[in-house]
Structure 1
């Protein structure tokens, strides 16, 4: 049986060989294809944590847990040593103040100074705001995650079990509009929970590996809360791209042979969807190739 990670490696090769090269919003430039799909079976406990490079899976899970809090400020992330969202507020700070502050100094000020964090650490109404506090035209907030859990428990045959983050009225106020936009869920007749994630924009080298892990972690949490078994994670990409300063890293990764996927499990049953912590996740038998460094395009 072909290793499931080859689906991802095939995408890397396709983008490198056949991608359309364009100047993008960041100015870095991309090579991209439009429309892609990969599928990961989670029913046997395997997790889609890539092995052809080290993926810092705890960072990805911490990010997902932060989304679930409904938070939009990077201070809690930095206090958990998660620095993947710092680039956007840092760029805004430098642009608006003219101060050429270093990233480490900026992050330290966010961690230590609540007033500074409130002013400069907020990302606008990004993922967590839309997932947990979507604002309706009547002023009422909608908790899409709580409603999803209710439907998984009460109406598992529904075709309306989904949540999304593309709130047209608030996209302009976001530091970065949602890339992983829509999560739809499906329960099989034998009690397995499947997820289809649509991602409109995909940084294939840096972003997609994190998105696979985050979506898998969320599927495990939702399955537990609804007394279901994990099923399949189906990932669909829209604009799937490699930044032009990531091409050599992609070629390096393509030269590596996948190793057995690790397992991921929850070590306890949480009281509710808001009760999960990073300590509840256990990953076993993860023996990847070395990490591959690359710059984030902002």
Structure 2
């Protein structure tokens, strides 16, 4: 993936050099470009886990497994030592109840108290709800992901193989409207499965590396369930931005040389899309530069 990671570095450079300066919803400020695309070839087993900074790939895959499970509460994530979704419910609790509570105390209460977790740990009808339990006007639930896999098995030439999370009627109930909102799939004549991820809004430094990793893991799972082989992961970004408080870290990352891409494989064939666990994923050859950290804009 060295060439693919070079694409990512070139995109960072374009945003730094040519990004439009904007004050955004979070008040932090961004440099932004509109309409970008990256292509990652997964056919040789490599995956887009960045090497120019350490990406905690297990965290990204655990998040994807949580989406696939239909989850909307942060408690299962915290039980898996994943804290990347805590900022939003914590901010709400601070606004409405206790502005002084620390993150560790809040998370522990979610873990220890069922009622507290139900009230304050839930994010509303976010990704997992829409992927697995989209409710139509008649009140019927639709499993978009399950239907996709069924279509891949029955009619792989279909041009209707997608799922999305932009449920207009429920946007206002979500802690955060979906960023990576549409996943479309394509099977070629060699039975290679490719996926386009359309992301309406992309934090290019913190968010994108997780989206690339999680997207690759999802593609591997779906390909296996449909008896296909992985093809390409195509990422399309709408508002692609760097937060101003990440620019120093971005400069440090861009000064690093990419290293050989790691590979990812599934250790077993799960009985269904719901049966995958983090231990099913094996990443080899990952030798990244040190991690670079930044604050999440909420």
TM-score category, normalised to shorter length: over 0.9
Alignment-derived partner of residue 160 in structure 2: 160
Paired residue total? 298
Q: Find the residue that maps to 1:160 and give its secondary structure.
A: coil
TM-score in terms of structure 2 length: 0.99
1-side partners of 2:209 and 2:2: how far apart?
A: 19
2-side partners of 1:98 and 1:76: how far apart?
A: 23
2-side partners of 1:208 and 1:150: how far apart?
A: 29
Would you identify which runs of 4 or more consecutive aligned residues in structure 1 move more than 2 Å?
none
Q: Find the residue that maps to 2:3 and give its secondary structure.
A: coil
1:130-149 maps to which residues of 2 (within 5 A)? Answer: 130-149=130-149
Residue by residue over 1:245-285, the C-alpha shift from the partner in whole angstroms, topping out at 9 and shown as x without a partner, is: 00111111000000000000000000000000000000001
Residue 71 of structure 1: how far off its partner (Å)? 1.1
Residue 175 of structure 1 pairs with residue 175 of structure 2 = yes
TM-score in terms of structure 1 length: 0.99
2-side partners of 1:288 and 1:55: how far apart?
A: 8
**1:57–1:2 distance in 2 versus 1, CA, 3 Å:** closer
1:146-295 maps to which residues of 2 (within 5 A)? Answer: 146-295=146-295
Q: Find the residue that maps to 2:239 and give its secondary structure.
A: strand
Runs of 5+ consecutive residues of structure 2 not aligned to the other structure: none
Runs of 5+ consecutive residues of structure 1 not aligned to the other structure: none
Residue 99 of structure 1: how far off its partner (Å)? 3.6
1:57-76 maps to which residues of 2 (within 5 A)? Answer: 57-76=57-76
**1:106–1:233 distance in 2 versus 1, CA, 3 Å:** same
2-side partners of 1:26 and 1:42: how far apart?
A: 35
1-side partners of 2:186 and 2:216: how far apart?
A: 14
Superposition RMSD in Å: 0.8
Residue by residue over 1:40-95, the C-alpha shift from the partner in whole angstroms, topping out at 9 and shown as x without a partner, is: 00000001000000000000000000001111000000000000000000000000
2-side partners of 1:98 and 1:84: how far apart?
A: 21
